[in-house]
Homo-oligomer: A and B are copies of this chain.
């Protein structure tokens, strides 16, 4: 997670959740690191008034005002058209670098490749972290993630946008609260900006996708104290547009357990508009897809119940739990305790690789 004193750069867009998704993610999962948000159109307000997050964090008009809070880091908190840094923001980033801040950039554009910005970073001494830059020499995935002693949990989904990142982050937060050393592995842009490291796994050459997932787990497992690694899933096996990325991620990170994420109100698969299969069908598919490599199981359900009354949400979770035989919660609404419990019930067990014959 981000820990340095951080300024979020959201000029002109902090009120827009879609554009400022990265900033909202950081405010949600590491608000204690944020000292100010830059957005002249909301200057003078409290971050909570604008975003519903980050109570007590001031929104300021410009970088100069933000510098009064002695930040160490500037995070570009917004997405831009084409993934390019617009000229107005470029000036702010340039000055931040001159002033010695470390700039974290999740846009497609690699800022460290820009000679002027690189020179400013050198003069200031802070540096540029291009979060989308892949580690060099990625290899194909070859089951090496199994060497990590920690229990690896992968969030999988019934579709894209079902809360896989949020669920993994909530699980890690819950584990930390229980004194369990854990790590979050980010596989998408927002998760990477929140965590400060990771790989945007859908932008890797398809040959190396599993290898990228493997690399993440090996990195997270370097600290031998780590007992739980939560990997952010991508796509869904039943979502034909992205299913290959999903399977590469599964076979690269080699989960010991999966948590199935679902949006309660969804009755069609996005983009292709085919019917949403029942939860039991998704569970069967995920377990089948792991069976001949490492027979991991889905251990819990994380269901996004946004828009439902509390009572209705609880009834829906109970029904999902009944139909699948698995614990179910909405981690945003009710916390991730049930998810962690499901893993602790088996003592964060490590599952062995497939050993031949008709698997269970």
Q: Are B278 and A244 in contact (CB under 8 A)?
A: no
Interface status of A274 (Cβ within 8 A of chain B): yes
Within 8 A of B (CB), among A197-214: 201-207, 209-210
Interface status of A162 (Cβ within 8 A of chain B): no
Q: Are A358 and B278 in contact (CB under 8 A)?
A: yes
Within 8 A of B (CB), among A339-360: 353-359
Within 8 A of B (CB), among A180-211: 201-207, 209-210
Per-residue B-contact encoding for A66-102, CB less than 8 Å = 1, 0 else: 0000000000000000000000000000000000000
- Rounded to whole angstroms, the CA-CA distance of A281 and B293 in the bound complex is 12
Instruction: Tell me how far the C-beta of A355 lies from the nearest C-beta in chain B, rounded to whole angstroms.
Output: 6
Interface status of A272 (Cβ within 8 A of chain B): yes
Known: A142-B271, A358-B281. A210 touches B240 (CB 8 A): yes
Interface status of A233 (Cβ within 8 A of chain B): no
Residue of B nearest to A288 (CB): B288
Per-residue B-contact encoding for A279-321, CB less than 8 Å = 1, 0 else: 0111011001101110000000000000000000000000000
- Rounded to whole angstroms, the CA-CA distance of A271 and B251 in the bound complex is 14
- Rounded to whole angstroms, the CA-CA distance of A356 and B243 in the bound complex is 18
Q: Are A354 and B277 in contact (CB under 8 A)?
A: yes
Residue of B nearest to A267 (CB): B356
Cβ contact of A143, chosen from B274, B291, B356, cutoff 8 A: B274
- Rounded to whole angstroms, the CA-CA distance of A282 and B206 in the bound complex is 22
Q: Are B206 and A209 in contact (CB under 8 A)?
A: yes
Return chain B residues, CB-CB under 8 Å to A207: 202-203, 242, 245
Cβ contact of A288, chosen from B244, B285, B358, cutoff 8 A: B285
Instruction: Name the residue among A140, A142, A288, A292 with the largest chain B CB count within 10 angstroms.
Output: A292
Instruction: Tell me how far the C-beta of A267 lies from the nearest C-beta in chain B, rounded to whole angstroms.
Output: 9
- Rounded to whole angstroms, the CA-CA distance of A289 and B207 in the bound complex is 19
Instruction: Name the residue among A205, A207, A285 with the largest chain B CB count within 10 angstroms.
Output: A207
- Rounded to whole angstroms, the CA-CA distance of A354 and B278 in the bound complex is 12
Cβ contact of A206, chosen from B140, B202, B251, cutoff 8 A: B202
> Known contacts A206-B245, A281-B358, A288-B289; can you find 7 more A-B pairs with CB under 8 A?
A142-B240, A143-B272, A202-B205, A203-B205, A240-B251, A274-B356, A276-B356
- Measured CB to CB, the residues of A under 8 A from B are 140-143, 201-207, 209-210, 237-238, 240-249, 251-252, 271-272, 274-278, 280-282, 284-285, 288-289, 291-293, 353-359
A-B contacts, 21 listed (Cβ < 8 Å): A140-B242, A141-B241, A201-B206, A205-B205, A206-B244, A206-B245, A238-B292, A240-B252, A243-B248, A244-B248, A244-B251, A246-B247, A247-B247, A274-B353, A274-B355, A275-B356, A275-B357, A281-B358, A281-B359, A282-B292, A285-B288
